[in-house]
Amino acid sequence: MDAEKLRSLQLTAAKVRLGAVTGVFNAKSGHPGGSLSSADIFTYLYFRQLHIDPQNPKDPGRDRFVLSKGHCAPGLYAALAQRGYFSPEELERLRHIGAMLQGHPDMKGTPGVDMSTGSLGQGVSAAAGMALAAKMDGAGYRVYALLGDGEIQEGQVWEAAMFAAHRKLDNLCLIVDCNGLQIDGDVNQVAGIAPLDEKFRSFGFEALTADGHDFHSLEAAFDAAAACQGKPAVILAKTVKGKGVSFMENQAGWHGKAPNQEQYDQAMAELNAALKELG
Amino acid sequence: MADIVKKATRESFGEALVELGAENPNIVVLVADLADATKVENFGKAYPDRFIECGIAESNMVGVAAGLASCGKIPFATSFAMFSAGRAFEQVRNSVGYPHLNVKIVGSHAGISVGEDGATHQCCEDMALMRSIPGMVVLNPADHYEMKAAVKAAVEYNGPVYIRLGRLAVESCNNNDDYRFEIGKGITLREGGDITVIATGLMVGEAIQAVDALAAEGIHARLIDMHTVKPLDQELVVKAAKETGRIVTVEEHNVIGGLGEAVAACLGERCPTPLARMGVQDVFGHSGPAADLLKEFGLCAGGIAATVRKVLRK
């Protein structure tokens, strides 16, 4: 990745963060913490990795993305809007009555959303089904799914992991947003999940690690995942919950809470300053 | 007139899938370690590339089916009703029902006729659970011919469908040449003006025996085979209520949430009519031979006839 591409991704990620916070503020509810920790991952996927065409969102040959941690919809919506699936103005109507953007992703109502999600643990199974369909049809598309590290506690994730490895779904790539926090606190104090890399390896996955806020690191991990043959891959992306808004960073309390006017103004000031710095 | 055959509807289901699979390459079958019990082994032999063994993990199976459907497949996700409709309820609701994906959820071994395995496997709540999901069609065919027609209709219908399979062999009753299956349209098997029996699934065969025995006593009961529990054929129910004045519903299911409650809601809103709901009276089953259990719960020809006489005496 050259310097220009890197700067372009960083600029887009800053806009995705602005969009996510704007959405949650206008909705007066929603999940800013995970949307911000995943913002660079969304950006990398939609602007570097996925083979997609926003003008043809139902193209049967497209790559698929499943947001298994569906509550981070504000981040996904901001990325989809930046990519041109719909107007960024839709973000201001997030969670409003009659709005296209529901509290959790709705594949029937929102262009670019490949699976309805929100109940944790279900997205990996659906993604495995999509990857299996590609194998059955001899189609070349790949399937990506993003999970939270708290979500790993759901048993269905591991049913799906066994299934994907048994079926040798090397066209499936999971990404775990390892921000270390869930609603009730520190993931490893609530109900420990470590060691995650060893768990996934023992379930038959290629387990990769990345800095979820470093595009060079993400690029290396996604390239290694794509090169993986005969088994599915998982990228354990180390992130900071609330990344980019100082008072939200590493605070479990910002998992599912909207900023008030003063907090919103401060968040926008910080995110706009970051955007300006990038030029 | 087609031959009268005595066969379990799960067998008919398996046959239908093999036949339909030949003409429709999008049909795929998912199983959770119960391929023999749900009678889809022959589909697996005929089309091994479209047969997906998921192991004992029904929640994942339903999610995988949702993903396959989103890519154009027509998945049949099969297991015992307790697990496909029960254990995986939330996956059916959120991954299949909410996005209205073209997945067919199949539940075999429903009701108390599971027999010796006992209460843990005798699912009497599956139709209630599936009925409660917006947009879900709920089918409970009565015999060989109806099951085959129902599976074909489910394939042609683009959306989620729940299909309940029977474990016991039943004699066919829908072998008339003019038989036509349509989702949401009940079948009138016997005409009569004194009372109407509305039965579904395994109970239709028992109800035929009951109605024919009552006819010999001079009681002329109408009999409706309600193969679609949702959407309910309200017009047929209201017509029967107006013309016969009394209704008895029969199902191998909890009286809460199934056919009886659907009929009660319809009548309450559109045509208040004396009603008796036969079924499992909000209790768990227990172990025993299937035929003995059905008799104990009154879900047999004798029990149905007795209830009809009692309702007519009131």
Could you say which of B62, B67, B90 has the minimum Cβ distance to residue A127? B67
Q: Does A122 touch chain B (CB under 8 A)?
A: yes
Query: What is the rounded CA–CA span in Å between residue A92 and residue A16?
Result: 13
CA distance B12 to chain A (A): 27
Q: Between chains, do B63 and A108 touch, taking CB under 8 Å as contact?
A: no
Which residue from B82, B168, B62, B78 is spatially nearest to B125, judged by alpha carbons?
Answer: B82
Burial of A58 (0-12, 13-18, 19+ CB in 10 A): exposed
Q: Are the CB atoms for B142 and B174 separated by under 8 Å? A: yes
Residue of B nearest to A166 (CA): B54
Bridge pairing between strands A206-211 and B6-8: unpaired
Could you say which of B57, B73, B98 has the minimum Cβ distance to residue A159? B57
Residue A214: what pLDDT?
A: 98
Quote the DSSP letter at residue B93. Answer: I
Q: Which two tokens stand for residue B74?
A: 């027509």
Residue B314: what pLDDT?
A: 81
* Helix locations, chain A, DSSP H: 3-27, 32-37, 39-44, 73-83, 123-137, 155-166, 187-190, 196-202, 215-227, 261-278
Asked whether the CA dihedral A155, A156, A159, A162 is positive or negative, the reply is negative
CA distance A125 to chain B (A): 5
Query: What is the rounded CA–CA span in Å between residue B211 and residue B190?
Result: 8
Verify whether residue B156 is a known catalytic residue: no
Q: Which residues, in sequence order, are bridge partners of residue B298?
A: none
Q: Which two tokens stand for residue A195?
A: 């060691």
CA distance A170 to chain B (A): 16
Spell out the residues 6+ positions from residue B190 whose beta carbon is closer than 8 angstroms to its own.
Answer: B208, B211, B212, B215, B221, B222, B223
Q: Which two tokens stand for residue A36?
A: 């911000």
Q: Between chains, do B71 and A106 touch, taking CB under 8 Å as contact?
A: no
Residue A274: what pLDDT?
A: 95
Residue A279: what pLDDT?
A: 79
Residue B269: what pLDDT?
A: 98
Q: Does A230 touch chain B (CB under 8 A)?
A: no
Residue B1: what pLDDT?
A: 83
Query: What is the rounded CA–CA span in Å between residue A128 and residue A163?
Result: 8
Asked whether the CA dihedral A66, A69, A73, A76 is positive or negative, the reply is negative
Low-confidence ranges of chain A (pLDDT < 50): none
Q: What totals of helices (H) and strands (E) does chain A contain, helices first?
A: 10, 7
Query: What is the rounded CA–CA span in Å between residue A208 and residue A200?
Result: 10
Residue B75: what pLDDT?
A: 98
Which residue from A135, A164, A128, A131 is spatially nearest to A63, judged by alpha carbons?
Answer: A131
Q: Are the CB atoms for B79 and B32 separated by under 8 Å? A: yes
User: From the CB of residue B133, how many other CB atoms can be counted at a distance below 10 Å?
Assistant: 21
Amino acid at residue number A168: K
Query: What is the rounded CA–CA span in Å between residue A207 and residue B28?
Result: 31
> What is the dihedral angle through the alpha carbons of B180, B181, B184, B187, rounded to the nearest 10 degrees?
60
Q: Are the CB atoms for A143 and A131 separated by under 8 Å? A: yes
Q: Are the CB atoms for B61 and A156 separated by under 8 Å? A: no
The answer for A 166-185 residues in CB contact with B (under 8 A) is 166
Q: Which residue bears the tokens 């989809």?
A: A80
Which residue from A262, A225, A231, A232 is spatially nearest to A245, judged by alpha carbons?
Answer: A262
Composition of chain B by helix, strand, coil, percent to 5: 45, 20, 35
Could you read off the pLDDT tens digit of each residue along chain B, which spans 314 residues?
889 999 999 999 999 999 999 999 999 999 999 999 999 999 999 999 999 999 999 999 999 999 999 999 999 999 999 999 999 999 999 999 999 999 999 999 999 999 999 999 999 999 999 999 999 999 999 999 999 999 999 999 999 999 999 999 999 999 999 999 999 999 999 999 999 999 999 999 999 999 999 999 999 999 999 999 999 999 999 999 999 999 999 999 999 999 999 999 999 999 999 999 999 999 999 999 999 999 999 999 999 999 999 999 98
Q: Which of B11, B15, B58, B125 is catalytic?
A: B58
Q: Tens digits of per-residue pLDDT, A242-265?
A: 999 999 999 999 999 999 999 999
Q: Which residue bears the tokens 């300053």?
A: A273
Quote the DSSP letter at residue B123. Answer: B
Q: Which two tokens stand for residue B232?
A: 């309910």
Q: Are the CB atoms for B57 and B32 separated by under 8 Å? A: yes
CA distance between the termini of chain B: 39
Amino acid at residue number A54: P
Could you say which of A116, A155, A160 has the minimum Cβ distance to residue B98? A116
Give the global pTM: 0.97
